[in-house]
A = this chain, B = another copy of it.
């Protein structure tokens, strides 16, 4: 027995697929849709939440629900953010000292001087990703990993979680929309951690892409 919200989401999804709802078009208001489908507004909003998580629609407070244009997902590529034609990056630099979870992440003693890069990428008007990147301050002149040499390995842990209220408001997404959270640790050839990053990508508009090249040694040990 399928739930009402899935039935409604299926119907709207097929309307988008067939083109009866076109890209960029505004949907009827939530009370109107609720009346049309003969459900309450919370139930209709649950149906829209499913489509939002799939990246098919975008909710804009005070304006309405819109069909997303040819679903353009920002693809995070293991190690660096793919430069995109209309992708803008805003960086805020702060000096601080290692504390809490940063200490094991960067493998540094407590209160080690660090530089924090708060990176916010935009695509057009809307925010697309949020990243906190930490670099030991003695690694000067400080540069982010995607433009530095001497890296040996990058290890990335990916989880799906809900955004903190701060992340939700910064990224202008619903607090019920899951994000991809990526913890990235880059080491140089000596094994020293040269950079740690905490990346937050909205689940409705982001992919993360990882490519593993299997070496001969790996193939032999795998077999």
Contact = CB atoms under 8 A, between A and B. Distances in A.
Given A2-B165, A50-B162, A157 B213 contact: no
A203 B149 contact: no
A156 B203 contact: no
Nearest to A203: B160
A149 B146 CA distance: 32
A90 interface: no
Which one of A3, A54, A160, A223 has the highest number of Cβ atoms from chain B below 10 Å of its Cβ?
Answer: A160
Nearest to A161: B53
Given A154-B212, A212-B153, A214-B152, A159 B207 contact: yes
Contacts of A178: 53, 160-162, 178, 203
Given A160-B160, A203-B178, A214 B151 contact: yes
Contacts of A207: 157-159
Given A53-B162, A179-B160, A153 B214 contact: yes
Interface residues of A, number: 50
Q: Is the interface of A mostly helix, strand, loop or mixed?
A: mixed
Contacts of A160: 160, 178-180, 203, 206
Given A6-B165, A160-B180, A165-B2, A149 B206 contact: no
Contact of A158 (B54, B210, B223): B210
Contacts of A75: 157
Closest 8 CB pairs of A and B: A178-B178, A160-B203, A149-B223, A160-B160, A210-B210, A158-B208, A160-B178, A154-B212
16 contacts: A46-B176, A49-B176, A73-B159, A78-B210, A78-B212, A148-B222, A150-B219, A151-B219, A153-B211, A154-B211, A154-B212, A157-B209, A159-B207, A160-B179, A178-B203, A210-B212
